A = this chain, B = another copy of it.
Amino acid sequence: MLLCNDPIKIREFITLCPPLISKQRREASRLYQTYIIMGKLINDFESYRNKMNDRIMETANTNIKRFFALDTTTYTDGALNVKTKEMLGLVASMVLRCDDCIKYHLGKCHEAGVNHDEMNEVFMIANLVGGSIVIPHYRRAVEYWDELNEGAN
């Protein structure tokens, strides 16, 4: 049993909870280890995305499935490599201000080896073209990018 999934609070909980409820304490301790390894934001995003994509594959009509297939094939290697395409997907997502799309493409950019300086230049183009209205999304992107890079170390 765990009433909360915030790692800070879980750590407090581990310290504070009385011996009486040692079962919760063990559970909390286990979950806290998980957060260290894979990152809470990434985990939350990925698990919801996977759950709902599964549900979509169960319920969607043929055209929607074709649209999802097209979404996958578009970002494969071609005249442009995956790294460039993922940066294109990211900048498009940032100027259209979709946090989930930003997270998705940040994950893919990370996998494709976009480094810190390159990412900052993508962030700058997004902020410039999209304007200061992009800044709150940029803040969340930096937090997610940090988590991706912590997980990688």
Q: How far is the CB of A65 from chain B (nearest CB, A)?
A: 10
Query: Does B70 lie within 8 Å of A120, measured CB to CB?
Result: no
Query: How many angstroms between the C-alpha atoms of A55 and B100 in the bound complex?
Result: 21
Interface residues on A, range: 35 or more
The reply to whether A1 and B17 contact each other, CB–CB distance below 8 Å, is: yes
| Pick from B3, B120, B129: contact of A96, CB under 8 Å | B129
Asked if B139 contacts A49 (CB within 8 A), the reply is: yes
Is A33 at the interface (CB under 8 A from chain B)? no
- With A101-B136, A121-B78, A143-B55 known to touch, is A92 a contact of B61 (CB < 8 Å)? no
| A residues 85-126 in Cβ contact with B at 8 Å | 85, 87-89, 91-101, 115-118, 120-126
In the bound complex, what is the Cα–Cα distance between A7 and B45 (angstroms)?
19
Q: Is A152 an interface residue (CB 8 A)?
A: no
Interface pair A92/B130, CB less than 8 Å apart: yes
Residues of B within 8 A of A135 (CB): 68, 71, 101
Q: Which 4 A-B pairs have the closest CB atoms?
A: A131-B131, A1-B16, A100-B136, A79-B117
Contact A20 B20 (CB under 8 A): yes
Which residues of chain B have C-beta atoms less than 8 A from A121's C-beta?
A: 61, 78-80, 85
